[in-house]
Amino acid sequence: MGDPSGSAASLGGGWIFEESLRPFCESVAEFCGYDFDDSDWQAVENALPGTDVEEPGGWYDYPLSGRTPMTLLVAADPGSSVVFVRLTGEPDDRTRARIEAAVHIFSRYTMR
């Protein structure tokens, strides 16, 4: 597990509804040009229970090695129905805006 701070730019920090985590991951991966598939989802899903937003080093980081390389960071908020998310990397302005919009949307609406 990683730490959300680092040398790359951090963006899209915030929380989203836990049940919307997979569509969020798929969306931001597409913005980065990465093909997020079932094996990627299994890695994130399996790691999530071992994370805790309140713990130092309690975030899980997952690389999205697409056209615009980014790292997805996720951390559970035990006792709630939300997951904290953040991405690091050096996206262009369009990709940055899309990711920030995704965080906004997925924190307001649930995907079923």
Contact 91, 8 (CB under 8 A): no
pLDDT in tens, 42-65: 999 999 999 999 998 999 999 999
Q: How confident is the model at residue 8 (pLDDT cuts 50, 70, 90)?
A: low
CA 65 vs CA 29, 58, 76, 112: distances in Å: 9, 22, 23, 27
Q: Is the pLDDT of residue 7 over 70?
A: no
**Who contacts 47 (Cβ-Cβ below 8 Å, separation ≥6)?**
1, 60, 62, 74
Contact 67, 58 (CB under 8 A): no
What mean pLDDT, rounded, does the chain reach?
90
Distance CA 69, CA 34 (A): 8
Q: What residue segments make up the domains of the chain, in order of their start?
A: 9-106
Q: How confident is the model at residue 110 (pLDDT cuts 50, 70, 90)?
A: confident
Determine the pLDDT at residue 1: 53
Residue of 51, 112, 56 lying closest to 85 (CA atoms): 51
First to last CA, the chain: 28
**What share of the chain has pLDDT > 90, as a percent?**
82
- Residues shown for the chain: 112
